């Protein structure tokens, strides 16, 4: 079993760190709000560090799941950052969805200290984290990935190395691009059914068994029909991710017309007060339009 630090105990990180402890690893956690760390330690019998550097001291692996590029930099760099105390040969695994630019920046900073860096963004939502069935898409050195994979297995349904540093983040962008279009399509289908006077549940029972079926349809249609939107990844975070996708598309020359449109639809949901609603709340925008 490995000595591991886990930085960031949000709705994803808290259960992920718990799976590592349950697998028998020696886990020390850090969270910006110390009360969350204390609650995790009480539940899982691990330890907590007052700073990322303290949590990471002597760790073989440091896993991070924080908010954005700046949050990631803050837990990695500086005197209180994890890189300050991670031993040479240790591996930093970043589960945050961030830009490929900051990934490469931090991978270089880690390498200068003899630390290996794996970008490993995740998909599967809060339920996936709680049930230990996340999809993990990775970039970085093949040897570092091979070592990290055995640890990541504690909370993954599938874990794959896609390529060199940044490839994991690029793959997560593909994931978010696909989700954006799927959720909008599902929202329109359910809204159309409502306007046509159809039983939405009966409609989905039939169409989900054919070419229209998807994870989003299977797992979100009932809560969408019931107007409940507290079951997953928040709109505010989706807009952050789609912003990364669109910025990267400008850099690479990719055309993302549907993604750009759905990003604006999520902006409308934010204006409705839905920044913390889950991403299936796109249907709320359609209902608000009449």
Instruction: Label residue 205 by pLDDT band (50, 70, 90).
Output: very high
As to burial, measured by CB atoms within 10 angstroms (0-12 exposed, 13-18 middle, 19+ buried), residue 182 is middle
Q: What pLDDT is recorded for position 86?
A: 98
Q: Whole-angstrom Cα distance, residue 118 to residue 104? A: 10
Q: Whole-angstrom Cα distance, residue 196 to residue 201? A: 13
What's the farthest any 2 CA atoms get from each other in the chain? Answer: 64
CA distances from 202 to 73, 101, 237, 286 (A): 48, 46, 32, 21
Average pLDDT over residues 204-215: 97
Domains and CATH numbers, the chain: 3-164 (3.40.50.720), 170-288 (1.10.1040.10)
Average pLDDT over residues 223-245: 94
Question: Does residue 257 have a pLDDT over 90?
Answer: yes
Q: Whole-angstrom Cα distance, residue 221 to residue 183? A: 10
In terms of DSSP bridges, do strands 134-139 and 122-123 run parallel, antiparallel, or are they unpaired? antiparallel
Question: Does residue 176 have a pLDDT over 90?
Answer: yes
pLDDT (tens digit per residue) in 35-70? 999 999 999 989 999 999 999 999 999 999 999 999
Helices 69-76 and 100-111: crossing angle, nearest 10°?
A: 10
Q: Please state, rounded to an integer, the average pLDDT across all residues of the chain.
A: 97
Beta bridge partners of 26: 3
* DSSP symbol at 60: S
Known active-site residue 172: yes
Share of the chain above pLDDT 90, in %: 97
Instruction: Label residue 128 by pLDDT band (50, 70, 90).
Output: very high
Name the active-site residue from 36, 172, 240, 271.
Answer: 172
63: which residues sit within 8 A by CB, 6+ positions away? 4, 5, 6, 7, 16, 17, 20, 93, 94, 95, 151
Beta bridge partners of 234: 278
Question: Does residue 233 have a pLDDT over 90?
Answer: no
Q: Whole-angstrom Cα distance, residue 279 to residue 64? A: 23
Q: What pLDDT is recorded for position 203?
A: 98
Average pLDDT over residues 186-200: 98
Phi and psi at 66, nearest 5°, equal -115, -155
Q: Whole-angstrom Cα distance, residue 40 to residue 204? A: 39
Instruction: Label residue 167 by pLDDT band (50, 70, 90).
Output: very high
* Residues making up the chain, counted from first to last: 290
């Amino acid at each position: 079993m490995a000595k591991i630090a886990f930085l960031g105990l949000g709705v994803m990180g808290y259960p992920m760190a718990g799976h590592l402890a349950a697998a028998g690893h020696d886990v020390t956690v850090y969270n910006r709000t110390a009360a969350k760390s204390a609650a995790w330690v009480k539940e899982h019998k691990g330890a907590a560090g007052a700073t990322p550097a303290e949590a990471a001291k002597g760790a073989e692996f440091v896993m991070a799941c924080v908010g954005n590029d700046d949050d990631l930099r803050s837990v990695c760099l500086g005197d209180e950052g994890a890189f300050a105390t991670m031993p040479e040969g240790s591996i930093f695994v970043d589960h945050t969805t961030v830009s490929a630019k900051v990934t490469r920046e931090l991978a270089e900073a880690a390498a200068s200290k003899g630390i290996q860096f794996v970008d490993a963004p995740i998909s599967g939502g809060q339920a996936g984290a709680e049930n230990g069935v996340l999809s993990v898409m990775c970039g970085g050195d093949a040897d570092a990935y091979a070592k990290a994979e055995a640890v990541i297995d504690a909370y993954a349904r599938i874990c794959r190395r896609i390529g060199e540093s940044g490839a994991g983040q690029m793959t997560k962008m593909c994931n978010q691009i696909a989700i954006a279009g799927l959720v909008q399509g599902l929202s329109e289908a359910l809204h159309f059914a409502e306007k046509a006077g159809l039983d939405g549940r009966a409609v989905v029972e039939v169409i989900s068994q054919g070419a229209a079926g998807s994870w989003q349809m299977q797992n979100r249609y009932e809560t969408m029909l019931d107007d409940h939107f507290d079951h997953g990844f928040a709109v505010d975070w989706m807009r952050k991710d789609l912003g990364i996708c669109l910025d990267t598309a400008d850099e690479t020359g990719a055309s993302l017309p549907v993604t750009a449109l759905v990003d604006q639809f999520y902006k409308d949901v934010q204006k409705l007060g839905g920044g913390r609603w889950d991403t299936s709340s796109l249907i709320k925008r359609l209902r608000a339009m009449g």
